[in-house]
Structure 1
Amino acid sequence: MLPREIIKKIRRIQIHTTHIVDELLAGQWDSAFRGSGIEFEEVRPYQFGDDIRSIDWNVTARTGHPYVKLFREEREMAVMLLVDQSGSQGMGSNWQTKREQVTELSATLAFSAIKGNDRVGLTLFTDGIEKFVPPRKGTRHVLRLIRELLYCTPMGTGTSLSTALEHLNRTMSRRTVVFVVSDFQDTGYEKALKVARSKHDIIPVVVADQRELEMPKVGLVRLRDAETGKVVTLDTNSRACREAYREFAERRMQERDTLFRRLNLDPIHVYTGEDFVEPLRRFFHRRENRS
């Protein structure tokens, strides 16, 4: 039996994200993701102006009258959410942690998928695979995904994007739309990302906090790395210290974004404490124009 607090959180997230999907992102999912192909639907009598290449010669020969084949787009897709649950997800300097932002964003993507009649699954990862839920349809299934996001107590604290992407390639044999929701504070995942990109439609969702980019001037502070446990003392009054921190953060961002461009990936960038609807809208709009 789930605690009452978790049930309330699930219900709140359901109401909030359903509103976003129905009112703010209405129709954009279907426009951005058009399905993987076409499938035969029916035949009907030939009409003036029909493409003669669509004539069904078997039915035409059998009936003595020309008939054409009709096709419809194969809309149903599989969508997988690869969601980072590492220790750094607990950071948040703007009333909201990265984990809270990730949960609401992932729920919005999941509800968008099922509204588009697609199947959606979930992989929670740290430096290992914490939970895997295969893609399915339905509101009850999405509520289960939200529960897993809220109720997950990770065994690991580190981040291994390679492990998550390799698991994806083993478990999803057909081409899948994959949202990788993470702060991407990891290295050495380039090869795994390249392989996954060749098999699937990979969409990086970069979740960040402004304090990761700019150190405040607050004197001597002791900082503990949430993933490794390492503790360091920094003098934030030191201009050199703040500049070194900013340069390191910018260099890491540039390396990540260069990799995305090289692999022709279109990332979504969101920040804690800020509305993620507009970044999603812009992304869906770019996808629609591209397709």
Structure 2
Amino acid sequence: MIPHEILQKVRRVQIRTSHQVNEMLAGNWHSAFKGHGIEFEEVRPYQIGDDVRAIDWNVSARSDQPFVKLFREERELSVHLLVDLSASQKLGTTTQTKRELVAELGALLSMSAIKNNDRVGLTLFTDDIEKTIPARKGSRHVLRMIRELLYCDPIGTGTDIRSALDHLNRVCKRRTVVFLISDFQDQDYEQALKVAARKHDIIPVVVTDPREHEMPNVGLVRLQDEETGEVVTVDTASRWNRRKYSDLFRAQSDARDHLFRRLRLMPIHLETGSDIVDPLHKYFHQRETRS
């Protein structure tokens, strides 16, 4: 039995994100993510302004008046959220943790998909696959996904993007729109990402917290790596330490973004405590323009 307070929180997330989808994202989603093709629907009499290349000459010859072919988009897509639940997602130095941001993002993307009659699935991973929910439609399905995003208790603590992508390729047989949501604190996943990008439409979503790229001056502090458990003592009053900390984050970020550019992937960058609807709106518009 799921506790009542958990159901209430899941429902609140669904209601809030549903409003955001209705107001801003549903139309953008449809424009940004096209169907896989078109199929013939019917013919109708030619009207001024119709493309002459659409004229059905066989029907026109039999009818002594021009007719044009009409086609409709094969709209239904398969969407999959590949979500990192490693221990580093617990970090949150603003109004939310990275995991809470990811849950809200997952709800927004799922609601946008089902509003457009697309199927959406979910895989949660750490250094192992924690849970997979096959792609389906419907609001009850989305509620289940939100619940797992908020309350799944992962066994692993590390991050293994390579094995998560390998798992994706095994379970998703047809071409799928994949949102790879992670802080990307991992290595050696380039080849797996390259293979997955050939088969699927991969959209990296990079989730960060402000304290990951800027160390505050608060004197001596003990820091623990949530994924490895390693503890170090750092003098944050040292300007050299703070600069090296920022330089390391920047170097890792530049290497990651360079990989995305080489693979021609368009990432979305999100930060805890900041609005996520506007970056999504801009991304959808950019994607539509690029298409």
In the superposition, the TM-score normalised over structure 2's length comes to 0.93
Q: Is the 8 A contact 2:79 2:176 kept in 1?
A: yes
Give me the identity figure in percent. Answer: 64
Q: Determine helix, strand or coil for the equivalent of 1:132.
A: strand
Does 2:13 correspond to 1:13? yes
CA RMSD of aligned residues (A): 2.0
Q: In 2 relative to 1, CA 53–23 (structure 1 residues): closer, same or farther, beyond 3 Å?
A: closer
Instruction: List aligned pairs for 1:241-280, cutoff 5 A.
Output: 241-280=241-280
Instruction: List aligned pairs for 1:157-172, cutoff 5 A.
Output: 157-172=157-172
Deviation by residue 1:209-237 (Cα, 9 ceiling, x = unmatched): 01000111111111111111111111111
**Aligned counterpart, 1:230:** 230
Q: In 2 relative to 1, CA 56–195 (structure 1 residues): closer, same or farther, beyond 3 Å?
A: farther
Once the two structures are TM-superposed, the CA of residue 44 in structure 1 deviates from its matched residue by 4.4
Q: Which runs of 5+ in 2 are unaligned?
A: none
Q: Is the 8 A contact 2:55 2:66 kept in 1?
A: no
Aligned residues: 290
Q: Is the 8 A contact 2:77 2:176 kept in 1?
A: yes
In 1, Cα distance between equivalents of 2:64 and 2:174: 41
**Aligned counterpart, 2:110:** 110
Once the two structures are TM-superposed, the CA of residue 128 in structure 1 deviates from its matched residue by 0.8
Once the two structures are TM-superposed, the CA of residue 24 in structure 1 deviates from its matched residue by 2.5
Does 2:173 correspond to 1:173? yes
In 2, Cα distance between equivalents of 1:24 and 1:72: 25
Q: Determine helix, strand or coil for the equivalent of 2:217.
A: coil
Does 2:39 correspond to 1:39? yes
Q: In 2 relative to 1, CA 61–167 (structure 1 residues): closer, same or farther, beyond 3 Å?
A: farther
Q: Is the 8 A contact 1:84 1:125 kept in 2?
A: yes
Instruction: List aligned pairs for 1:44-123, cutoff 5 A.
Output: 44=44, 51=52, 55=56, 57=58, 69-123=69-123
Q: Is the 8 A contact 1:56 1:69 kept in 2?
A: no
Deviation by residue 1:61-101 (Cα, 9 ceiling, x = unmatched): 99999865432011110000011100000000002100000
In 1, Cα distance between equivalents of 2:64 and 2:242: 82
Q: Which runs of 5+ in 1 are unaligned?
A: none
Once the two structures are TM-superposed, the CA of residue 151 in structure 1 deviates from its matched residue by 2.1
In 1, Cα distance between equivalents of 2:233 and 2:167: 37
Q: Is the 8 A contact 1:46 1:55 kept in 2?
A: no
Does 2:234 correspond to 1:213? no
